[in-house]
């Protein structure tokens, strides 16, 4: 909320109870509904609203200080409306990837220099998550793999090839990671029937819920963080001393520093982000092969481009099952089903059965596998008008920070965005000094343009 005299309003964008059950959350960790203390603390140095990847990364980096830093650790309070990691991070595709076939779109919207910086940042996120999984001994099935964008449509394949060749010539970053395979071998290499071409890159496949909740466990072990689940934040009021009162569905509390890692739900607490970060609903599924049946193991991950505008993503799991998401064109025209929607307690009806037999339809050797859809769920993304996340200090505020609005690709940004926000808070550095691509900075100008 803005000025000091405002009366706290009810939050109209609260996560709803009884969200659809995602495969990733099927085996809840002991912290899932944990409260560090019975009562809410009345005060904390830093309050982080969220326990998704962005919020937990911020907490981790706030407490993961350098060896020579002997300043006292701040007290951190994590407020989560539902269970830990029950937002989008607990219901996504489990991929950190920049789709190689969409780099051209990125260059068109941001320009070549900024697009290059964004791609390098995504690559840095891949390796940063990999390293923290290794260093903190987190069991999250983190695996570097190759991921193929596979074109099934002749014209699309021609375009993808031409753009890739243009990128190669221009020396654009990431091209050293890219590998093109043409029609002669595309089907054999990708295992997808009718593949006209494939463009592959390095990705991290991981289990987002296991990653986030075990990282949170490491955070709590540091001793100065307090976790409060099932504690929706309903309003925030600026106090006379420039601190804040945070209202929850339980008690209220005070703090000088707030981190909004609330992604699609942000505008409920920060109205200036209304129409800037819009909640949108998307869907994914888990496909399994029944016992006694066989299907070839897939060691790559995929984006299948049926046409340029119709794309699904697949993330095979080590146990041979597959997470598949997409199917947007089955409901895209019915905007009321998904745009400006923050209810993830229901499915998107036209896509309910979309994933059935998808593996049989497209993958060599899966025709008689009997593969079946084990579960389908929905999640709420934060979509921005200009296609870039909002990271940094909330314009015009003191002590309010935001990292949100990832347009369906937050795994690729949020971990190092959390690192940057933690440094801004602890070291008092500016956004520019964090080294994050400048086009991701939240600014008043971006808010104004988005609302125009
Ligand atoms: C179906 C689907 C597939 C996707 N696949 C991928 C993928 O493969 N790769 C990729 O990079 N991205 C993917 N995404 C997007 C990605 O999941 C998100 O961008 C990312 O998880 C955002 O993380 P976050 O921490 O910002 O948000 P979230 O995980 O949504 O965390 C926000 C948290 O804040 C809490 N919260 C909100 N408001 C309040 C409040 N008022 N009080 C208290 N708590 C509150 C919520 O309960 C939630 O836990 C996908 C998204 C969907 C829906």
Domain ranges of the chain: 23-91+209-275+386-451, 146-203+280-384
Task: Tell me which residue of 142, 123, 290, 114 sits closest to 205, measured CA to CA.
Answer: 142
Pocket flag, ligand 1, residue 95 (CB < 6 Å)? yes
- Residue 336 confidence (pLDDT): 98
Does the structural domain 23-91+209-275+386-451 have CATH classification 3.50.50.60? yes
Ligand 1 center to 369 CA (angstroms): 33
CB contact at 8 A, 402 and 266: yes
Q: Is the dihedral of CA 141, 145, 149, 150 positive or negative?
A: negative
Pocket flag, ligand 1, residue 282 (CB < 6 Å)? yes
Pocket flag, ligand 1, residue 312 (CB < 6 Å)? no
Ligand 1 center to 177 CA (angstroms): 28
Question: What are the strands, taking DSSP E only, across 36-137?
Answer: 43-49, 76-79, 95-96
Name the 3-class secondary structure at 43: strand
Closest atom, ligand 1, to C-alpha of 410: 19
> In CATH, which of 3.40.50.720, 3.30.9.10, 3.20.20.210, 3.40.50.970 is domain 146-203+280-384?
3.30.9.10
Q: Show the tokens assigned to 199.
A: 């463009």
- Residue 8 confidence (pLDDT): 59
Give exposure, 220-244, as e/b (b: 16+ Cβ within 10 Å).
Answer: beeebbbbbbbbbbbbbbbeeeebb
Ligand 1 center to 406 CA (angstroms): 9
At residue 24, φ and ψ (nearest 5 deg) are: -60, -30
Pocket flag, ligand 1, residue 55 (CB < 6 Å)? yes
Pocket flag, ligand 1, residue 214 (CB < 6 Å)? no
- Residue 9 confidence (pLDDT): 60
Tell me how far apart the alpha carbons of residues 52 and 216 are, in angstroms, rounded to a whole number.
Answer: 10
Query: In sequence order, what are the beta bridge partners of 285?
Result: 324, 376
Q: Is the dihedral of CA 263, 230, 32, 137 positive or negative?
A: positive
Q: Is the dihedral of CA 167, 170, 172, 178 positive or negative?
A: positive
Query: Residue-wise pLDDT tens for the chain (452 aa)?
Result: 333 344 456 799 999 999 999 999 999 999 999 999 999 999 999 999 999 999 999 999 999 987 777 889 999 999 999 999 999 999 999 999 988 778 888 888 888 888 889 999 999 999 999 999 999 999 999 999 999 999 999 999 999 999 999 888 887 777 888 999 999 999 999 999 999 999 999 999 999 999 999 999 999 999 999 999 999 999 999 987 779 999 999 999 999 999 999 999 999 999 999 999 999 999 999 999 999 999 999 999 999 999 999 999 999 999 999 999 999 999 999 999 999 999 999 999 999 999 999 999 999 999 999 999 999 999 999 999 988 999 999 999 999 999 999 999 999 999 999 999 999 999 999 999 999 999 999 999 999 998 77
Pocket flag, ligand 1, residue 417 (CB < 6 Å)? no
Ligand 1 center to 265 CA (angstroms): 9
At residue 448, φ and ψ (nearest 5 deg) are: -65, -45
- CB count within 10 Å of CB 135 equals 10
At residue 133, φ and ψ (nearest 5 deg) are: -60, -45
Q: How far is CA 143 from the centre of its chain?
A: 17
Ligand 1 center to 336 CA (angstroms): 20
Pocket flag, ligand 1, residue 88 (CB < 6 Å)? yes
């Amino acid at each position: 909320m803005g000025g000091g005299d405002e009366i706290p309003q009810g939050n109209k964008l609260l996560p709803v109870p009884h969200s659809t059950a995602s495969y990733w959350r099927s085996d809840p960790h002991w912290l899932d509904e944990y409260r560090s203390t019975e009562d809410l603390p009345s005060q904390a140095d830093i309050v982080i609203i969220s326990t998704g990847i962005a919020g937990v990364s911020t907490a981790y980096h706030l407490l993961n200080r350098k060896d020579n830093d002997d300043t006292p650790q701040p007290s951190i309070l994590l407020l989560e409306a539902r269970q830990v990691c029950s937002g989008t991070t607990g219901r996504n595709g489990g991929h950190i990837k920049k789709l190689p076939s969409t780099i051209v779109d990125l260059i068109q919207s941001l320009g070549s220099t900024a697009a290059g910086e964004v791609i390098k940042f995504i690559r840095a996120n891949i390796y940063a998550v990999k390293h923290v999984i290794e260093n903190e001994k987190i069991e999250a099935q983190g695996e570097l793999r190759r991921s193929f964008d596979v074109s099934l449509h002749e014209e699309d394949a021609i375009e993808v090839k031409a753009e890739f060749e243009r990128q190669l010539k221009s020396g654009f970053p990431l091209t050293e990671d890219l590998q093109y395979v043409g029609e002669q071998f595309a089907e054999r290499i990708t295992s997808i029937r009718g593949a006209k071409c494939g463009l592959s890159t390095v990705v991290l496949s991981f289990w987002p819920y296991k990653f986030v909740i075990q990282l949170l466990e490491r955070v709590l072990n540091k001793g100065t963080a307090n976790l409060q689940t099932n504690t929706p934040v309903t309003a925030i009021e600026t106090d006379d001393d420039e601190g804040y009162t945070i209202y929850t569905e339980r008690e209220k509390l005070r703090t000088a520093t707030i981190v909004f890692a609330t992604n699609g739900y942000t505008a409920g607490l920060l109205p200036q982000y209304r129409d800037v970060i819009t909640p949108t609903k998307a869907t994914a599924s888990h496909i399994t092969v029944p016992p006694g049946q066989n299907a070839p193991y897939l060691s790559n991950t995929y984006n299948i481009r049926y046409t340029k505008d119709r794309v699904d993503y697949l993330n095979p799991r080590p146990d041979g099952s597959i997470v598949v998401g997409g199917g947007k064109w089955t409901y895209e025209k019915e905007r009321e089903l998904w745009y400006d929607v923050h209810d993830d307690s229901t499915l998107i009806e036209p896509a309910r059965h979309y994933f059935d037999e998808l593996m049989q339809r497209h993958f060599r050797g899966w025709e008689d596998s009997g593969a079946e859809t084990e579960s389908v769920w929905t999640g709420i993304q934060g979509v921005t008008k200009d296609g870039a996340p909002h990271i940094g200090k909330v314009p015009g505020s003191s002590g309010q920070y935001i990292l949100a609005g990832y347009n369906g690709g937050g795994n690729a940004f949020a971990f190092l965005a959390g690192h940057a926000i933690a440094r801004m808070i602890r070291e008092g550095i500016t956004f520019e000094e964090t080294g994050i691509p400048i086009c991701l900075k939240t600014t008043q100008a971006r808010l104004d343009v988005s609302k125009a």
